[in-house]
Amino acid sequence: MPTKRTILTAAAAAATLLLLGVVAVWVRETRPKQPVTLDRAGEMLQRHREVPTADFAPRSHGSQTGDGGPS
């Protein structure tokens, strides 16, 4: 049979996890929603532009051991 201290410790741990979950949901729901404006969308597109494939050297498909190629 568990002791009184064990039961209180388990109850405190459960209450802590429950409280952290409630706080996480509250923070998520109350933080300001910032819509993406056209200026910001353009900024994001500039940041994530596709890199041309000519900038990279071709991959080696040699048969060296350990390079993941055919052996």
Distance of CA 62 to the CA centre of its chain: 35
Contacts (Cβ under 8 Å, ≥6 apart) of 67: 60
Domain extent, residue 17, equals 1-31
Mean pLDDT of 17-41: 83
Residue 54: per-residue pLDDT: 61
Please indicate, yes or no, if residue 5 is contained in any of the structural domains. Answer: yes
Q: pLDDT at residue 63 above 60?
A: no
pTM of the full structure: 0.44
Please indicate, yes or no, if residue 43 is contained in any of the structural domains. Answer: no
Please indicate, yes or no, if residue 58 is contained in any of the structural domains. Answer: no
Q: pLDDT at residue 55 above 60?
A: yes
